[in-house]
Structure 1
Amino acid sequence: MSGWNYFNYFTEIEEYFWKKRGANLLVSPLDWAIMESWQQAGVSLEAALKGIDRAFESHTRSRRGGKPMKSLAYCTDAVLEAAAEAKEAAAGGHSGAAAPRKTEPFSCDALRAHFLKNRDRIEQVAANTASAQPELSALLHSMALSLGQCSAILESPATIDLEDLERRLTVLDDKIHAALLQQAGVEMQLRLRREMDGQLALHRGKMRAEQIALIERQYLHKRLLEEFRLPRLSLFYLQH
C-alpha cells in the first residue's frame, strides 16, 4: 500500500462505499467504528475495497438486491475473507520481489496545520473543563504541549519519520481515551452503550466475537471524543 493510501485509509473506503451505493451520505458512527476496526486489525486498503466489492455483488444477487446497502456492517465478512486471502498470498509470494517506492503522503504544512489545529481544540476543551474536571483539564494541557512538540519535529532538517510520528500520536490518543473513560459519568457511558447496542443489534449474529469486541471499543472511543468535543490525533484523520 502506498504511503498516501495508507494514511488516507478512511477517506478511500468511505468514498468507495458511497460510489458503490450510488449515494453520498454521511457515514454513521458504527461505520466509522467498523473502518477503524479493520485498520486496527491490519486489513489493507486493497483487501477492504475488494471485500466491499464482493459484498455488493452478493447483495445484488440476493433478494435484497433492490434495496440499498445501508451500512459497512454488511461487508465485514467479505472484507475479512479478502484480508485473509491477501495474507495467504503474501506468505506464499516471492521474498525477493521489489518493494514499491515510498512517497511522502503529506506536506510539512499539512502536518503542521493538523497538529496546531488539534492542539488548539484540546486547549479549548482543557480551558472549558478546568473548573469542573481539573484532572482532565491538566492532562489535556499536557497533551496539547506534546502536540506542539510534534509540530516542532517538522522544523528539523532531517527526513520526517511518519511512522514514528504516528506512534507518538497513538500514545497521546490512548492517554486521552483512558482519561475520558475515567471522567465520563455512568449515565453518559450507559447512554453511549445503549446507542451502540441499538446500532449493532441487526449485525451481531453475522460477526465474529473478536470483530464485535473491536468495533465496540472503537465505537465508544469515537463517541466519547465527540461528547467531549475532542479530535482524533492520528494521521489517518488528517483529511477529516
Structure 2
Amino acid sequence: MGESSEDHAYFQAIEEVFVRLRGAPLLLSPADWQVARRWHRDGVPLDLVRRVLEEIFAKRKERGAKGKISSLRYCASAIEAAWADLRELTAPGERLEAPVFDPAARLQALA
C-alpha cells in the first residue's frame, strides 16, 4: 500500500507530539512510520494516541527513568491496548429481536 497524504498528516501529528514529549529532536524510523500507518488504517484516533503517549512519558518521569524513549514502537503495545479497550467499550451490542407479544394467546395459556 502506498503512502497517502492522510497517512502522512496522521504520522506528522504523532511525530510532533512524540518529539514534544521527548524533549529532544528525533526523526522517527521507517518502522515507526509503519506502526503509525497501521494505526491510521485501523482507525485509531489521534487523540487516543496523544493521550497514551502523554501517559507513558508522565509515568516514566514519575519513576525517574533514565534515558529517552527513542522509538514510537516502545509505546505501541500501550496504544494498541487502549484502542482495543475503547473499541470494546463502544462496540455495538448484539441486538435481539423482542418476542411478539400476543395478549390473547397469553391469556388463553393462563386460563
- TM-score, normalised to structure 2, is 0.64
Q: Give the number of aligned pairs.
A: 87
Q: Hey, what does 1:91 align to over in structure 2?
A: 91
What do you get for the CA RMSD once the two structures are aligned? 2.4
Q: Hey, what does 1:25 align to over in structure 2?
A: 26
Structure 2 alignment gaps of length 5 or more: 1-5, 93-111
- TM-score, normalised to structure 1, is 0.32
2:66 maps to a residue whose letter is G
In structure 2, the residue corresponding to 1:8 is in which secondary structure?
Answer: helix
Note if 1:48 corresponds to 2:49: yes
Counterpart-to-counterpart distance in 2, 1:24 and 1:60: 18
- 1:2-151 paired onto structure 2 within 5 Å: 8-62=9-63, 65-91=65-91
Summarize deviations over 1:100-128 as a string: whole Å, max 9, x none.
Answer: xxxxxxxxxxxxxxxxxxxxxxxxxxxxx
For the pair shown, the structure with the greater C-alpha radius of gyration is 2
Summarize deviations over 1:177-230 as a string: whole Å, max 9, x none.
Answer: xxxxxxxxxxxxxxxxxxxxxxxxxxxxxxxxxxxxxxxxxxxxxxxxxxxxxx
In structure 2, the residue corresponding to 1:13 is in which secondary structure?
Answer: helix
In structure 2, the residue corresponding to 1:82 is in which secondary structure?
Answer: helix
1:37 maps to a residue whose letter is R
Asked whether the 8 Å contact 2:7–2:40 carries over to 1, the reply is no
Counterpart-to-counterpart distance in 2, 1:46 and 1:85: 15
Runs of 4+ in structure 1 displaced over 3 angstroms? none
Normalized per residue, the structure richer in helix is 1
Asked whether the 8 Å contact 2:35–2:73 carries over to 1, the reply is yes
1:53 maps to a residue whose letter is E
Deviation at 1:77, TM superposition (A): 1.6
Counterpart-to-counterpart distance in 1, 2:38 and 2:63: 27
Counterpart-to-counterpart distance in 2, 1:35 and 1:51: 14
Deviation at 1:35, TM superposition (A): 0.8
Q: Hey, what does 1:175 align to over in structure 2?
A: none
Counterpart-to-counterpart distance in 2, 1:61 and 1:78: 17
In structure 2, the residue corresponding to 1:27 is in which secondary structure?
Answer: coil
Q: Hey, what does 1:187 align to over in structure 2?
A: none
Deviation at 1:90, TM superposition (A): 2.8
